[in-house]
Structures are given as C-alpha cells and as structure tokens.
Structure 1
Amino acid sequence: MSERPLELAWLRIFEAVGRLGGLTRAAQELGLSQPAVSYTVRMLEEQLGTPLLMRGHRGSTLTPAGETLHRAAAGAVAELDGAARAIRRMSRRPVVRLFTDYGFASFWMMPRVAAFRLVRPDTEVHVIASAAAEPSGDDAEDVAVLFGTRSDFPANAVQLLEEKVVPVCGPRFAARHGLAEQPMRIGAVPLLHLESTPRPRWFGWGDWFAATGFARGPSASDLSLNTYGLVVQAAIADQGVALGWSGLIDGALADGTLVAIGPPLLRADHGYWLRPGPDPSPAARDLIDWIEREVKADAGPTRFGKPAK
C-alpha cells in the first residue's frame, strides 16, 4: 500500500457521506451527481487499501476504518470552515450598529455621519431607527442611544443630552401670530403633538402649559404626528408650534429655519443616554468616544457625561 499523502479533494465529500449516511443524500447536499460521489469514495478506498463504507439498499454505513477517517475529516472541515469565516471577516469592513429613535437618528446622527467617516473611513455605521424604547431580538446593537431617565439604564450608560424643550415654529408663523412679542398667544394657535404611549417618556404640551402657567385655549386645529421628524417638518411648514428638544433642533434654530417662542422647560434626570453593547468592538468603542466628544463640543463648558445611577 502506498505511503504517499492522500489527496484532499475528497474531504468535504466524505464528511457529507459519513454525516448523512448515504451517497445520494451527500450528492444532493453538495450539488453533485451520485456517481461522482461514489467514484470519489471508491478512489479513496483504493488509496487506503480498505473499505470505508458498507453499502446497502437503505443507505451506507461507515466501516471501522471509515469511522476513523470520518472523525478526522469532520474535524478538518469544521476547522477549515471556521478559518474561512475568520478570513472573510478580516477582509470585510468593520460594521457598527447604532440603535436609536427617529428623532436622534434624523436630527443628530445623520448630519454627523460624514464627520465620523473621516475618523474611521474603514467603518460602516448601520443606524437602526425605531419608535420602540428598546431593541427587539432582531435589532442587535453595538451602541444604543435611547431616551429615558436614569433608572432606565445600567451603570455604564452615559447621559448625552438633558431633556430641555422650548416651543418652536417657523419665523413667518411667529410673525403672523405675533408670538415673538406675546408668547402667551401660543395657547391660541395650532399645536403640533408627537404621538406617544399612555405614559409618555418625554415632555408633552400638557407638561409645558402646567409648568409655565400659560393658558391653553380651545382649538380643533392641532395636529398629531407619529415621528418627531414629521413634527419638525410641520413646524417648518408653518403648520403650528412644536416642542423643540435641545440637541435635536439646534441646527434649525441656528440657521433661522425655526425660532424659539416662550420659556424653556428642563428635566435634568431625563434625556438621551448612550448605552454600550456587550463587549464593544474597537470600531464600536471609537463610535462611542466620537459621539461623546461631539456632544461635549456642542455643550461647551456645561455639564456632560453623567453616569447612570
């Protein structure tokens, strides 16, 4: 019997034959013809000088020699497949998944994605925006930026933005209704509402009127919308007055697209919190550090980065 090394083209075929218990089933799984699989096994038996299969009408079973070879083949196939997966991951660009709500995704993250690409040009950022308070089983995340209060988050979460709202509208709408001179007229104009659950996590117009003491007159022309992006678009389109969240509408206030009307309302223990996923990758850690730096730069010397308690 020859002692020369075995050719390895048979490896995956024989692994499938032994695992599936038959030539036909192995051929079907591998996309080969049954004669091709049978020929490969026969050539292997000739090289080894011993039968590897006991063939029968209902399939094939491994001989003792076949079992020995199959254990080696199965281990080798598994190790090679694992190595192939690792190599493919090495060749792919790193991907970081950020889970957040529509407001943060649209008004904070998306305008800044290009800036992060300058920091990590090799990294893809997948922003998963949802109205849900938490990711579902299908929304695995490396980083989450979520709205809530301190008790909602683990100790390693960092508060990015305190909840601070101010009434905002388009400049033409403000001028038409005299809101700049008399903000108490807010109670008599159409209001734009962000739809929420029976127990909302964020401020609503009822909270603002209760805190400021302004009177709310009856109005049938209010508008409720299911995402914050639509609320802001409606305000820009002069459809009414919206509550503007600090950190989200700063750009629109800076460029004059929106103007602030009336006093702000602050709730320091509420706001947006950054929660790292389990075992963040280097790319995820870079995204976390970058988000924190960006928020700190926006806030200037004010308080930032309070850990959850």
Structure 2
Amino acid sequence: MSERPLDLGWVRVFEAVGRLGSITAAARALGLSQPAVSYVVRELETQLGTPLLVRGHRGSTLSPAGEVLHRAAVAAVAEVDGAARAVRRLSRRPVVRLFTDYGFASFWMMPRVAAFRRVRPETDVHIIASAGADPGLDGAEDVAVLFGAGRDFPPDSVQLFEECIRPVCSPGFAARHGLGGAPARIGNLPLLHLESTPQPRWFGWSDWFAATGLARGPAASDLSLNTYGLVVQAAIADQGVALGWAGLIDGALADGTLVAIGPPLSRAETGYWLAPGSTLSEAARDLIAWILAEARGSVPT
C-alpha cells in the first residue's frame, strides 16, 4: 500500500460526513452534490485500502478506521478555521470609532483627518456625528469628544479647550453695518441662533449680551438653526451675526472667511472634553494622543 501523503481537499468533506452521519446531509451542508461527496469518500477508501463508512439504509456510520480518520479531520478543520480567523483579523485595518457632535466633526476633526492618516495610514477613523450628542456615553464608542461641563464626564476625561465665544460675521456684512469698531450695533442686527434645549449646555446670545452690558434692540429677522454648521454657513452667507466658538471657527477667522466683531465670553468649566472608551485598542490610544497634541497646538493665545 502506498505511503504517499493524502490530498487534504477531503478533510472538510469527511468531517461533515462523520458529523452528520449521512453523505446526503453532508452534501447539502457543504453545497455539493451527493455524487461528489460519495466520490471523495471512495477515493479516501481506495487510498487507505480500508472502508471508512458502514453504509446502511438510514445513513452511514464510521467504521473503526473511519473513527480514527474522523478525529484527525475534526481537529484539522478546527485548527484551520481558527487560523483563518486569525489571518483575517491580521489583515483587517484597525478601526477607531469617534463619537462627537456635528460642530466638532465638521470644523475641527474633518480638516485634520488627512493629517492623522499621514501619521497612521493603517488606521481607519469612523466619525459618528450627531446633532444631539450629549455627555451621556453608552460604551459603544472608542473615543468621544463632546461638549459639556467637566462634572458630566468620567474622571479620565481631558478638556480639549474651554468654552469661549465671540460674535462673528462675514467681512462684507461687518463692512456694510460698520461693525469694525462698534459692537454695540450688533443688538440691532439679525442674529443667528443655535437651537438648544430649555436648559442649554452652551452660551447663547442672552448670555453674551448680559455679560457685555450691551442692549439687544428690536429683533430684526433673527434666524434659528439646528446645527452649528448651518449657523456658520449662514454667517458666511451674510445672513447675520453668529456666536463663534473658539476651537471650531479658528480656521475661518485665520483665513478671513469670518471676522470677530465683539468681545469674547468664556468659562473654564465647560467646553469640549475627550472621553476615552472603556476598552482601548492601540489604534484608539494613538488617535487620543494625536487629538490631544493637535488640541494643545490649536488653543488660541
């Protein structure tokens, strides 16, 4: 009898035959024809020179030789399937899920994603943005960057930048209304509002007017919008005066798309906070370290 190595294409077929006790059932489970499975078993028996199945009217059972070979097939299938799963995990690009609101995603994170990809090209960042993102974390994210007060976040959270607002508008709007050196005129102009809950977590126009002592004149076609991106777009489009959050509108101020036209208002206990997830991969730790470094470099002086 030949001692040449067996062709291993039979392993999964024979494992299924022995496990299911039927050539027909094995063929169905594997998506093969019944004659194809029968052929594999006959070829095995020919190569080994002994019956591997005891065939009956109601199916097939393993012969003593078949039992020996089937135990090896079961172990081999389990080992190969486990190795295949490991290989697939190795071949997958690491993914980090970042949960945040539309403002941070649009104005802070998206302009910087390309820079992160340059230093971590093997990592994909999935940004999950929500208009109603609040400090309530559900553990589904790897990293969360959200707006709120420090007390709202876990102890290991880090503040990226504190809340600081100032009125902003387009350069053309400022020129037409003489706002360069006269912020008192803001109260008589259309104001752009970010819609909020009855107890907002961030500053609004009423806070700014109260803090500066300036008067709010008759409402002149104010506009309320439900995302900060729309507020900024409306300001750029000459629709009125918006409140600009430091950290989000820095780029627009730097390139002249928007201009600041009034004094700032800030509070140290609120702002954007980074909250790490409960279990961090190496890729998530890399993203956190990169965001912290970028935020330290972007804080206005």
- Same fold per TM (> 0.5)? yes
Distance in 2 (CA, whole Å) between partners of 1:19 and 1:200 is 63
Q: Please name the residue that 2:124 is paired with.
A: 124
Q: Deviations over 1:1-58 (max 9, x none)?
A: 877654421222233445556444443443321221233234445538344466555x
Deviations 1:246-280 (A, max 9, x none): 00101111121111122222121111111222442
Cα separation, partners in 2 of 1:285 and 1:23, compared to 1, 3 Å: same
Is the 2:27–2:37 contact (alpha carbons within 8 Å) kept by the matching residues of 1?
A: yes
The 1-side partners of 2:217 and 2:62 are apart by 85
Equivalence for 1:73:
73
Tell me how far 1:159 sits from its aligned partner: 0.9
What are the residue-to-residue correspondences of 1:128-143 with 2, within 5 Å? 128-131=128-131, 132-133=133-134, 140-143=140-143
Question: Is the Cα contact below 8 Å between 1:253 and 1:259 reproduced in 2?
Answer: yes
Identify which range, 284-293 or 127-136, moves more after superposition: 127-136
Q: Tell me which moved more, 257-266 or 275-284.
A: 275-284
- CA distance in structure 2 between the aligned counterparts of 1:105 and 1:44, rounded to whole angstroms: 61
Q: Which one is further off, 122-131 or 183-192?
A: 122-131
Unaligned runs of 5+ in 2: none
CA displacement at 1:233 relative to structure 2: 0.8
Deviation at 1:194, TM superposition (A): 1.8
In the comparison of the two structures, how many residue pairs are matched?
Answer: 299
Task: Give the alignment of 1:1-309 within 5 angstroms.
Answer: 6-19=6-19, 22-44=22-44, 47=48, 49-52=50-53, 56-57=57-58, 70=70, 72-131=72-131, 132-133=133-134, 140-219=140-219, 221-299=221-299
Cα distance change of structure 1 residues 32 and 145 upon mapping to structure 2, 3 Å threshold:
same
Shift of 1:108: 1.0
- What SS does the corresponding residue of 2:79 show, helix, strand or coil? helix
Q: Secondary structure at the match of 1:164?
A: strand
For the 8 Å contact 1:99–1:135, the answer to whether it is kept is no
Paired residues of 1:54 and 1:63 also in contact (CA < 8 A)? no
Q: 1:123 to 1:214 in 2, by over 3 A?
A: same
Deviation at 1:237, TM superposition (A): 0.5
Partners of 2:135 and 2:147 within 8 A in 1: no
- Per the TM alignment, residue 99 of structure 1 is displaced from its structure 2 partner at its CA by 2.1
SS across alignment from 1:146: strand
8 Å Cα contact 1:142/1:278 also seen in 2: yes
* 1:215-252 CA-partner distances (Å, limit 9, x unpaired): 33342622222221111111011111111110010111
* Equivalent position SS for 2:161: strand
Q: TM-score, normalised to structure 1's length?
A: 0.82
- Identity within the alignment, %: 74
Unaligned runs of 5+ in 1: 303-309
**Distance 1:216-1:79 versus aligned 2 partners, 3 A rule:** farther
How many angstroms does 1:294 deviate by?
A: 1.2
**1:296 to partner: Cα distance:** 1.1
**Rounded Cα–Cα distance in structure 1 between residues aligned with 2:66 and 2:294:** 62
Amino acid at match of 2:152: D
RMSD: 3.1
Aligned counterparts of 1:155 and 1:136: Cα–Cα separation in 2: 13
In structure 2, the partner of 1:305 is none
Residue 49 to residue 252, structure 1, CA distance change in 2 (3 Å): same
Displacement, 1:79?
A: 2.8
Take 1:134 and 1:77, find their aligned partners in 2: how far apart are those partners? Answer: 47
State which drifts further: 243-252 or 43-52.
43-52
Flag the 1:291–1:11 CA change in 2: closer, same or farther, 3 A.
same
Q: Given the two structures, how large is their TM-score scaled by the length of structure 2?
A: 0.84
- What letter matches 1:115 in structure 2? A
* Alpha-carbon distance between aligned partners in 1 of 2:130 and 2:60, rounded to the nearest angstrom: 52
Question: Structure 1's 14 and 216: CA in aligned 2 closer, same or farther, altered over 3 A?
Answer: farther
**Residues 135 and 141 of structure 1 are in contact (CA less than 8 Å); yes or no, is this contact kept in structure 2?**
no
